[in-house]
Amino acid sequence: MILGVGHYVPDHVVTNHDLSQLMDTSHDWIVERTGIEERRHVVLGGGDTTASMGYRASLLALKNAGVSAEELDFIIFATLSPDYYFPGPGVQLQEMLAPDHTIGALDIRNQCSGFVYAISVADQFIRTGMYRRILVVGSELHSAGLDMTTRGRNVSVIFGDGAGAVVVGIAEEEGKEEGKEAGGTGLGMSKVLSTHLHSEGRHARELAVISPSTQHWVSHILKENNPNDESYYPYMNGNFVFKHAITRFAEVINEALRANGVSSGDLKLMIPHQANLRISQYIQQKMGLRDEQVYNNIMRYGNTTAASIPIALSEAVAEGRLQRGDLLMLAAFGSGFTWASALIRW
């Protein structure tokens, strides 16, 4: 089960109007196409990094769970914007949390689906009884890597910075009670009912940052010294991504419903990855969900990729939108393409 949640976003608010000072765009265009009104950007040099934002969200999730960093068995960190090319931020977080508590730290590279993939991995470790307390983090620092000129406007208006974290594990009482019911030790019980993971690599370059890469490494880049090279910026074929997103979101949500013999009417809440408000609204309509069954906060944060679902979950919990026993659907689609869902009994 999810024992605790937390999130952190940088203080610096960037409105659509602010962006229109940097590039040829407008508040109306951005709101009409994406629903986004503002997003948060870190102030470079101000101390926020992908790992440090993940750390701040993690502290809140641990506090919310009543679990200390020394009680964790494992860390899973999902991001597409790590502080370093390698190592990934999982080890940075391990050091920040408890440097002498040398638990494993795994980095997940599944972009917008990263958090749901991470929940799935955590759930498997819990189910086998290998671990009892796992910290799952999604954190992104997009702003430093965006092309903030008119050339990059179809991408740069969409993405924002932030982090969310959850502690996945077994509550002491729950482990005992359910273990007895199941005639076992109590280990291995989980309230993650099922997870469903997919990928289709043939579309990898439709939403990607392709440099630096093994085929275009730093030595080449320095030699070329080409200020017009756009390959270090995210490329997105927006229409193509949109069409695939609405199909795959619906498929993977239905897959989770079918696997558990429930219908969309049984869901208390669905938290879709906050890709674009228009995508969420389309899915809501297609699945026949009421407004109160779908949580959206992209208006305030933009698309924070692997962080979007845990930030939204943290806010939804703080607003009292979930009670014990409620059915929660998480669903995501993004670069890869990858897509995934998780059905959780809260």
Binding-site ranges for ligand COA (CB under 6 A): 25, 29-30, 33-34, 112, 153-154, 157, 236, 238-239, 241-242, 245, 275-276, 279, 303, 333-334
Q: How far is the CB of 75 from ligand COA (least distance, A)?
A: 24
CA 223 → CA 147, 209, 219, distances in Å? 22, 20, 6
Residue of minimal Cβ distance to ligand COA: 238
In the bound state with ligand COA, the residue whose beta carbon lies nearer, of 90 and 334, is: 334
CB contact set of 66 (below 8 Å; sequence gap of 6+): 3, 4
| Cα–Cα nearest to 222, from 214, 230, 212 | 212
In the bound state with ligand COA, the residue whose beta carbon lies nearer, of 146 and 316, is: 146
Active site residue 17: no
Distance CA 164, CA 285 (A): 27
Token reading at 309: 């679902």
Per the DSSP assignment, residues forming a β-bridge with 303 are 159
- Looking from the CA of 21 toward its CB, the CA atoms found within 13 Å total 4
In the bound state with ligand COA, the residue whose beta carbon lies nearer, of 153 and 300, is: 153
CA 59 → CA 86, 97, 98, 257, distances in Å? 24, 8, 11, 33
The answer to whether 331 and 273 are in contact (CB under 8 A) is yes
In the bound state with ligand COA, the residue whose beta carbon lies nearer, of 303 and 341, is: 303
Q: How far is the CB of 243 from ligand COA (least distance, A)?
A: 9
The answer to whether 309 and 330 are in contact (CB under 8 A) is yes
Q: How far is the CB of 56 from ligand COA (least distance, A)?
A: 24
Q: How far is the CB of 324 from ligand COA (least distance, A)?
A: 31
Phi, psi of 85 (to 5 degrees): -60, -45
> Among residues 7, 16, 112, 244, which one is catalytic?
112
Active site residue 303: yes
93 sits in which H/E element? helix 89-97
Q: How far is the CB of 111 from ligand COA (least distance, A)?
A: 7
DSSP state of 70: G
The answer to whether 133 and 1 are in contact (CB under 8 A) is no
Token reading at 346: 């809260």
In the bound state with ligand COA, the residue whose beta carbon lies nearer, of 33 and 216, is: 33
Q: What angle do CA 161, 51, 127 make, to 5 degrees?
A: 100
3-class DSSP assignment, residue 335: coil
In the bound state with ligand COA, the residue whose beta carbon lies nearer, of 241 and 271, is: 241
Residue 99: count other Cβ atoms within 10 Å of its Cβ: 9
Q: How far is the CB of 154 from ligand COA (least distance, A)?
A: 4
Supply the residues annotated as catalytic: 112, 273, 303
